[in-house]
Chains A and B, each alone.
Chain A
Amino acid sequence: MLSDNRIKAPVQDGVVNQLVQASKVQDWDPSAMLDNLSFLEQKIHQLQDLVHLIIGRKGQVLGRPDELVVQQQQLVTADLTSIIVQLISTAGSLLPSGKHTLPAATPSLEQSGQFGGVVFPSAQGPLNDGFQPQNAGGSKVSGLPNSVDISRKNGNEQNHIIEEHELKDEEDVEEGESLIPGTYEILQLEKEEILAPHTHFCTICGKGFKRDANLRMHMRGHGDEYKTPGALAKPNKESGSEPTIIKRYSCPYTGCKRNKDHKKFQPLKTILCVKNHYKRTHCDKSYICSRCNTKKFSVIADLKTHEKHCGKDKWLCSCGTTFSRKDKLFGHIALFQGHTPAIPLEEAKAPAGPSDQGDGNQSTNKVGSMNFNFSSNVSSESEVQSSTDIKGSIDDPAGYFSPLSFDTCNFGGFHEFPRPPFDDSESSLAFLLSGSCNYPQKSED
């Protein structure tokens, strides 16, 4: 459950987050700094490679060259931005007070929406072979031009498909719904209400209650018709068949696409959707699977679903992706050149190679100052990594440090902190981009 300071800061989470970190990292740790710097060095090298690649491909661009150039620019910009973020945060460990200025540029909603479009192509980039399949395995991402469409979807969608079966819920189902704005009533619960362990919800305002009796008492406030003894006694039968206004719900988190102030606002259908959405997207994943000790969930039902399948994901590809079904693995292998079924080695061989990898991962975890939560990717990535470890060989080491592989490193330190709710990757970087970058992609809408 959430800590106090999270609840007190419903909107300015970013600021709080930064402050919390700033206070935590005031005692400077040179070895962490070194880790950060070497990590940055790697990033820059990769970016260099990417730019090389772009130069190399210039000659053979067919079709719509303009768009491609734009996308390449975005790609580079996105990476540069990430590097700047890192650099600043590294520097921030020495100058804690400097951080206050950073979040000043509040995330603009449009940009956060777009950022997904920018980020995603880079994840499809050539340097990123290792993780390509996870993106393309289930969603029909065929090439760069599609990325904008994907960015419109729920943030979860562009995370790894592995989680697909776990996160399928009402929340995702309503993608196709297109209600004309104004034809429905938007309700927004406060996060305290969302996170309260309620089971009875007011159909009018959505407020939740632990007991139905309390709900009925509450209902009196909504009008005299609820004050009749019949209404108060037992809600056996629906009182009236009055023309009910369609109710939709808004996420209280500012900047979220599910928030009514978002430009491309997509309302949530039910209170349950709100609850699940809020927990999944803006809350800690405090439920850890006791079997694999890797997967984390914020909704206990998700954990239960996962635990049903945990350990059964035995179908492993050489790229590290696991599948719960053999046919899914074979479909994946049929699709991607060079991927091959991974046969688990005998115990003796298994830990040899990957232990280094694991250690490296650990050391990055300790970098407290780089406490950027890049969304729920974290849990799935760490799963992927651990499963790759089992296999013992990594086809494409670059995959670990792909152009946007900040999220591949599990900045796990933050679980020790009372972490304020944070947005997904889109807006967490967007606040940095807001001032400096102006994406032409905006015009496409």
Chain B
Amino acid sequence: METSMEFQSKKKHHHHPLSPHSSSNPFDILTEEIVCKILDHLHDDPSAIKSFSLSCKSFYSIESRHRLTLRPLRAELLPRTFHRYPFISHLDLSLCPRVDDPTLNVISSTWKATLRSINLSRSRFFTNAGLSSLFVNCSGLVEVDLSNATQLTDLAASAIAEAKNLERLSLARCKLITDMGIGCIAVGCRKLKSLCLKWCLRVGDLGVELIALKCKQIRSLDLSYLPITEKCLDSVLQLQHLEDLVLEGCHGIDDDGLSTLEQSCKSLKMINLSNCQNVTHTGLSSLINGTEQLQQIILAYGSSVTSDLAKCLHTYSKLQSIKLDGCIITWSGIKAMACLRAPIKELSFSKCLGLTDDGLSFLVQSHKDLRKLDITCCRKITYTSIDSITSSCTSLISLRMESCSLVSKEAFVLIGERCSFLEELDATDNEIDDEGLKSVSRCSKLSILKLGICPNISDVGLAKVGSCCSQLKELDLYRATAVSDSGIAAIANGCPALEMINIAYNDKITDKSLMSLSKCWMLKALEIRGCLGVSSIGLSAIAVGCKQLTVLDVKKCFNVNDSGMLPLAQFSQNLKQINLSYCSVTDVGLVALASLSRLQNMTILHLAGLTPNGLAAALLACRALTKVKLHASFRPLLSQSILGYIEAHGCIFHWRDKAFQKEMDPKGWKLHFGKSGSEVP
């Protein structure tokens, strides 16, 4: 889906080898239906659809008529699409920072009959007037994402209420909307099935209660961080179809209130009570009383996990997933959890400081079906736990154990030997060494491997991963300082599906690594911060080879200069985000980059060769920018009218006043290696 549309002038230069009139056209024998089927299979590769539609006039028109989904790069380009794509039903405007009322007016009159879904979560500048015309015209709208529309008021909510067929609505962070607006939506949008009101801080019990009373079809309700109390919950729990209920950070909900609840929701499948410090086991049990279908329960950062709490969960035979991140866990609580008769598939104990070897070992022995386990930062865990986990839960798919600092290197050998179905392993900030890594490479389905701040792994281990884990998509080698070019080369050769790699702060890495990575044509994100051995030559190779590159971070690569920017500007048409801080890039390179039509996000602090004029030129040329991080010293040097103009296009400036850091390792990473893994620059 990513960047499925592109509006470049290149097609003008394209030649049409097959004239529609020539009888030799082999595609003439294909019916339009078949061609459409072929087209449906091209969705994996966005450029394929483009090539397809450019191949001949008939394909062009078939593609035009067949396309239902549109994700335009910029709102200014929309008018060109109105005629070309008459049947758009899903419009994703998340790449368009500026969508104003006239734009919405045209959209709503053009795709009046076809539009079913629209995403405005990243767009600004529209008001209730535009929304009103959208909802009045496009009566078929089923899904609307208005998250982050902090400018919208209750008037907009009353415009939304016109969408009588709306089923999914997100209003996350619409902070100005009050109960009154929600009341309008409740009355107008009776078919709502999914509603997100997260951070709608002015919505309280009355609004939520009315939603629950009027919208009986609701399946999913996100009420996170709302100032609500138990008053609205009685009505919410009466919803016959409610499956997901998120009450994260609802501090107004407490045990006393919950004890007054008279309703129980039989259909509930997921409940999230994260950050509800005032809810203990008594409140929880009254809330989920009678919810026989319960599958997932999230109590992160809540009250401590005692035996009472665990006993609350005993009756739920369909329970699959329990998340207790950041909770204080007692031994009795663990014991009671071990007695759950439901076959738990997912457990999360991230930052549960009380979790011990005894507890975890006892627990995993009775839940052998476990697929996902998160024990991030459980610092009391040792080899013993890993031994129990790997011997009990052999079908483990995901193991996240960042900063389990007491776990010895031998433990990782066990992981590879026993959990061969592993797809995700987070061993960041651990003692894992090449022996462990070799063992882990037996997991041939491994897709995500995080080895950040693992100083003990080297090219030997990576070579084994490269030869065995061909499905690897994500590899994190942040500050894995023993790794060098040959290790990266092995990965690049063996993992063609690689989409994301981080080799930051490694001075052994040179342009050779980048040249080998340029073979990974699926690569989307490359982070090589502080790799002093990398220069524009390597970067050029990446630009040429990795056409999908979307995110690039070359901060503090001092040897990257303008000559690295020119190939990026030419080839990396998909680049959305770049960090060039501290690079040797000047006005020339930056202005060249500005030709990238998708570039949205730039961080350009401390570019030695950047002048205010060059910066202004680059900013003006870069039409898709949404966020630019700049040094505060530039602020008075740029003309206010230019800044105003760019901001009016939807760009937000972040002015930073950071001092120039001369040292590569100002925080003494080399000294405290592996001891304080939480800090990530």
Task: List residues of chain A with CB under 8 Å of any chain B CB.
Answer: 315, 326-327, 330, 333-334, 338-341, 343, 345-346
CA distance A365 to B153 in the complex (A): 38
How far is the CB of B230 from the nearest CB of chain A, in Å?
A: 15
* Contact between chains at B179 and A333 (CB < 8 Å): no
Known contacts: A334-B213, A341-B184. The answer to whether A327 contacts B155 by CB under 8 A is no
Whether A340 contacts B206 by the Cβ 8 Å rule is no
A339 near B206 (CB under 8 angstroms)? no
* 8 CB-based A-B contacts, threshold 8 Å: A326-B179, A330-B210, A338-B187, A339-B187, A340-B158, A341-B154, A341-B158, A343-B153
Question: With an 8 A cutoff between CB atoms, is B209 at the interface?
Answer: yes
Best-buried of A315, A326, A330, A345 by chain B (most CB within 10 Å): A330
User: In this assembly, does B487 line the interface, its C-beta being within 8 Å of a C-beta of chain A?
Assistant: no
Given contacts A334-B209, A341-B154, A343-B153, 13 further A-B contacts (CB under 8 A): A315-B180, A330-B207, A333-B183, A333-B210, A334-B210, A339-B187, A340-B161, A340-B183, A341-B183, A341-B187, A343-B157, A343-B184, A345-B155
Interface centre among A330, A343, A345 (most CB of B within 10 A): A343
A326 to B205, CA, bound (A): 11
Q: Which residue of A lies closest to B231 (CB)?
A: A327
B155 engages A343 (CB within 8 Å): yes
For B151-187 the 0/1 string (1 means CB < 8 A from A) is 0011101100100000000000000000111011001
B188 at the interface (CB under 8 A from A): yes
Task: Please indicate the chain A residues that have their CB under 8 angstroms from the CB of B183 in the complex.
Answer: 330, 333, 340-341
Residue in contact with B206 in the complex, picked from A327, A343, A346, CB distance below 8 Å = A327
Chain A: minimal CB distance from B212 (Å): 10
Chain B residue nearest to A346 (CB atoms) is B155
- Whose C-beta in chain B lies nearest to the C-beta of A339? B187
Q: Which residues of B contact A343 (CB under 8 A)?
A: 153-155, 157-158, 180-181, 184
A346–B129 Cα distance when bound, in Å, is 11
A340 to B209, CA, bound (A): 14
- Could you tell me the distance in whole angstroms from the C-beta of B341 to the nearest C-beta in chain A? 41
Give Cα distance in the complex from A126 to B207, angstroms: 29
Nearest-Cβ distance from residue A194 to partner chain B, whole angstroms? 44
* B179 and A340 contacting across the interface, CB-CB below 8 Å: no
Report the bound CA distance from A333 to B180 in whole Å: 11
Residues of chain B in range 126-143 having any CB-CB distance to chain A below 8 Å: none
For the complex, give the distance between the alpha carbons of A315 and B183 in Å: 12
Of the candidates A327, A338, A340, A341, the one having the most CB atoms from chain B within 10 angstroms of its own CB is A341
User: Which of chain B's residues have a CB closer than 8 A to the CB of A333?
Assistant: 183, 187, 210
List of B residues within 8 angstroms of A346 by Cβ: 155
- Report yes or no: B180 in contact with A341, Cβ–Cβ below 8 A: yes
| Closest CB in chain B relative to A172 CB, distance in Å | 28
A334 to B158, CA, bound (A): 17
Closest to B181 in A: A343
Instruction: For A314, give the chain B residue with the smallest CB separation.
Output: B180
In-complex Cβ contact of A330 among B153, B157, B179 (8 A) = B179
| Least Cβ–Cβ distance between B627 and chain A, in angstroms | 31
For residue B153, which residues in chain A have a CB less than 8 angstroms away from its CB? Answer: 343
Q: Which residues of chain A are near B161, meaning CB under 8 Å? A: 340
* Bound CA span A341–B182, Å: 9
CA distance A339 to B153 in the complex (A): 20
- Nearest-neighbour CB distance to chain A for B155, whole angstroms, equals 5
Complex CA–CA separation, A390 to B584 (angstroms)? 62
Q: B119 to chain A: closest CB distance in Å?
A: 25
What residue in chain A is nearest B155 (Cβ atoms)?
Answer: A343
Bound together, the chains give a CA A416 to CA B142 distance in angstroms of 57
A114 to B68 alpha-carbon distance, docked (Å): 66
Chain B residues lying within 8 Å of A345, measured Cβ to Cβ, are 155
| Bound: A333/B161 CA distance, A | 14
How far in angstroms is the closest Cβ of chain A from B211?
11
Q: What are the 10 closest A-B residue pairs judged by CB atoms, nearest first?
A: A340-B187, A341-B183, A330-B206, A341-B180, A343-B154, A343-B158, A334-B213, A340-B184, A343-B155, A341-B184
Residues of B contacting A341 in the complex (Cβ-Cβ under 8 angstroms): 154, 158, 179-181, 183-184, 187
User: Which residues from chain A contact B214 at a C-beta distance below 8 Å?
Assistant: 334
With CB as the reference atom, state the residue of chain A lying closest to B154. Answer: A343
Distance between A105 CB and nearest chain B CB, rounded to angstroms: 48
**With contacts A343-B155, A343-B181 known, is A330 near B209, CB below 8 A?**
yes
User: Which of the listed residues B179, B180, B210 has the most CB atoms from chain A within 10 Å of its own CB?
Assistant: B180
Instruction: Report how far A341 CA is from B188 CA in the complex, Å.
Output: 10
> Please, which residues of chain B bring their CB within 8 A of the CB of A339?
187
* C-alpha spacing A433/B132, complex, angstroms: 51
Question: What are the residues of chain A within 8 A of B206 when measuring CB–CB?
Answer: 326-327, 330
- Rounded to whole angstroms, the CA-CA distance of A410 and B161 in the bound complex is 34
Within 8 A of A (CB), among B195-235: 206-207, 209-210, 213-214
Taken together as a complex, chains A and B put the C-alpha atoms of A327 and B155 apart, in Å, by 20
Bound-state CA distance A338–B180 (Å) is: 15
Q: How far is the CB of B3 from chain A (nearest CB, A)?
A: 38
A339 to B188, CA, bound (A): 9
| CB nearest to A345 among chain B residues | B155
A330 to B183, CA, bound (A): 8
Which of these, B155, B188, B213, contacts A340 with CB under 8 Å? B188
Please give, as numbers and ranges, the residues of chain B lying within 8 Å of A334 by CB-CB distance. 209-210, 213-214
Bound CA–CA A217/B219 (angstroms): 79
In the bound complex, CA of A315 to CA of B179 (Å): 11
CA distance A345 to B188 in the complex (A): 18
Instruction: Please give the distance in Å from B639's CB to the nearest CB on chain A.
Output: 34
Residues 450-482 (chain B) with a chain A CB within 8 angstroms: none
Alpha-carbon distance A343/B161, docked complex (angstroms): 12
* Min CB gap A156→B, angstroms: 29
- Alpha-carbon gap, A343 to B157, bound state (A): 9
A330 vs B207: C-alpha distance in the bound complex, in angstroms? 8
A340 nearest CB neighbor, chain B only: B187
Would you list which residues of chain B between 83 and 141 have a CB under 8 Å from chain A? none
Task: Report the Cα distance A339→B186, complex, angstroms.
Answer: 10
Look across to chain B and name the residue whose beta carbon is closest to the beta carbon of A331.
Answer: B206
**B180 — which chain A residues lie within 8 A by C-beta?**
315, 326, 341, 343
Residues of A within 8 A of B179 (CB): 326, 330, 341
Q: Which A residues are CB-close (under 8 A) to B157?
A: 343
Task: State A338–B188 Cα separation when bound (angstroms).
Answer: 8
Min CB distance A347 to B, Å, is: 13
B435 to chain A, nearest CB (A): 65
Q: Which residue of B lies closest to A336 (CB)?
A: B187
Contacts of A326 in B (CB 8 A): 179-180, 206
How many Å lie between the Cα of A275 and that of B565 in the bound state? 91
Return chain A residues, CB-CB under 8 Å to B187: 333, 338-341
* Cα–Cα distance between A311 and B181 once the two chains are bound (Å): 20
User: B185's closest neighbor in chain A, by CB?
Assistant: A340
- In whole angstroms, what is the CA distance A345 to B128 when docked? 11
Chain A's closest residue to B214 (CB) is A334
Closest CB in chain A relative to B160 CB, distance in Å: 11
- Closest beta carbon of chain B to A318's beta carbon, Å: 8
Chain B nearest CB from A370 CB (Å) reads: 37
Cα–Cα, bound, A312→B188 (Å): 26
Bound state CA distance, A339 and B183, in angstroms? Answer: 10
A58 to chain B: closest CB distance in Å? 31
CA of A341 to CA of B180, assembled, Å:
6
Contacts of B188 on A, CB cut-off 8 Å?
340
Q: Which residue of A lies closest to B188 (CB)?
A: A340
Q: Which residue of A lies closest to B187 (CB)?
A: A340
Question: With the chains together, A338 CA to B184 CA distance in Å?
Answer: 10
How far is B161's CA from A339's CA once the two chains are assembled, in angstroms? 12
Q: Enumerate chain B residues within 8 angstroms of A315, measured Cβ to Cβ.
A: 180
* Cα separation A326 to B209 with both chains bound (whole Å): 13
Taking CB atoms and an 8 Å cut-off, the chain B residues in 587-618 that contact chain A are none
User: What residue of chain B has the Cβ atom nearest to residue A338's Cβ?
Assistant: B187
Closest to A330 in B: B206
In the bound complex, how far is the Cα of B158 from the Cα of A340, in angstroms? 9
On chain A, the residues within 8 Å of B181 by CB distance are 341, 343
Name which residue of chain A comes closest to B179, CB basis: A326
